[in-house]
Amino acid sequence: MGHEGRLFIGGEWVAPSTDARIDVVSPHTEAVIGRAAAAGPTDVDRAVTAARAAIDAGPWPRLDPAERIAAVRRLAALYGERRREMAELITAEMGSPISFSKLAQAMLPWTMLGAFADFAEGYAWEETRPGYYGQDVILRKEPAGVVAAIVPWNMPQFLIVGKLAPALLAGCAVVLKPAPETPLDANLLAELIEQAGLPPGVVSVLPGGADVGEALVAHPGVDRVSFTGSTAAGRQVAAACGAGLKRVSLELGGKSAAVVLDDAEPAAVAAGAKLAGLMNSGQACVAQTRILVPESRYGEMVDALAAMVDEVPVGDPSDRATEIGPLVARRQQERVRGYIELGQYEGARLVVGGTGLPAGVDRGWYVRPTLFADVDNRMRIAQEEIFGPVLTVVPYAGEDEAVRLADESDYGLSGSVWTADVDRGMEVARRVRTGTFGVNQPYSMDPAAPFGGVKASGVGRELGREGMDEYLEVKAISVAPATDLSEGRDR
């Protein structure tokens, strides 16, 4: 990558408006591994102006959808050629274990590009609907305009592509703001976008801090905002969009529950909890860190979970055997350690883990994988999003109580149920109030399935055909019958 010190704005690599640079620090070694230009408010204005020109006067929104589909397929082909490099870059930037990066941080985004192109080929861009008064109405789907896409550091490419692909296919222009912790993978994507030959102004990439995001959300040239991040930040984005009457979608936090029924196998529950609760070292909004276990089988389930947490491999994220890597930054390490101390203060039983470094680790922003038992669902460690490798086990007396406890949360993003009886599991799945759910598996991030939450977990949906809808406006057109026009001329 040869663009250190430059920003991708309007389809070109240009000098930023300031001399500020972002130092990218390895969470494993604590050493600087790269630098990127930091955008400022002036750069936001340049990018939005270029995007506005692309929408108002450029060819992109006026192309036949087949041409935009072909462009996204070109991007997908280029992405596929460099997905290994993308995975390694994200592991270096934010500490995601390389086995997870290859799959979720690079393979899934590549797959999503092709999937969205497939969805677009079968999309009804224009349709005729019978009118209530006997006259047909034409419904036309048109681009929402200039999109501000703001993503966090934990799943950077997955979250970027989930916004970028449908927005491009819809005919929108996108100004992307990646997190300052992960600018390098975003700049690699910008290289691929340049190679794919998208028209000028259709995509710009502005790494930077909160000031850049605030300027982008508030910019009068932006028509729509798609934000992924914390619930607290999401509320601020929603307020700003409300003031500007801008369409907005928010994918926010979670504190999801895995409901274990009394016929589940402990080994299967432990294996499922490792993926559902500890994926990406626990740095996932969908992490199911509240494990609800029946009192009748509490001891054996806790023992199985403790063995799993105690044995999960922790260490160098570039090692293929590693399953838990470092957290993204020292502030995140300190935050998670604070929650571990809080859990002990609240009276939960620390079964495995604690605030010290994992065995064999003497540097980096690591936290020992931790399991708390005897957790009251009202404790802060059971209610607040920790965003680290910390699992809590909450006992319950019966299925009704399990569903109540699962719903006893400000959030509603994900969840699962574990049982030997799929029909019984489906009944629980139908009852829990959440945006996504899995039966005997964590929720599968299938590109065909809409993803999003309820309550404080957000507004709107990404992925699937519903994800396309978020970037389109519906125009209703009615045409007077020809006979009516001729009668008017006769008069």
Residues labelled as active-site residues? 251, 285
Q: Tally the residues of the chain.
A: 491
Q: Which residues share a beta bridge with 381?
A: none
Token pair of 306 as six digits: 């403790």
Tokens of 374: 């005897």
Is residue 413 within 8 A of residue 256, CB to CB? The reply is yes
The bridge status of strand 126-129 relative to strand 247-251 is: unpaired
Structural contact between residues 190 and 159, judged by C-beta atoms closer than 8 angstroms:
no
Give the list of residues 6+ apart from residue 361 with CB closer than 8 angstroms, or none: 314, 315
CA distance 158 to 109: 5
Give dist(CA 86, CA 360) in Å, integer: 28
Q: Where are the alpha helices (DSSP H) in 203-265?
A: 210-218, 231-244
* CA dist., res. 118 & res. 107, Å (int): 17
Measuring CA to CA, which residue among 340, 335, 343 is closest to residue 355?
340
Helix, strand, or coil (residue 297): helix
SS3 135: coil
Query: What is d(CA 202, CA 217) in angstroms, rounded to the nearest whole number?
Result: 17
Of the candidates 269, 260, 271, the one whose C-alpha atom is nearest the C-alpha of residue 294 is 260
d(CA 223, CA 55): 11
Task: Name the pairing type of β-strands 137-143 and 472-478.
Answer: antiparallel
**Residue 473 three-state SS:** strand
Helix (H) or strand (E) segment spanning residue 120: helix 108-121
Contacts of 367 (CB under 8 A, 6+ apart): 327, 333, 336, 337, 340, 355, 358, 388, 389, 390
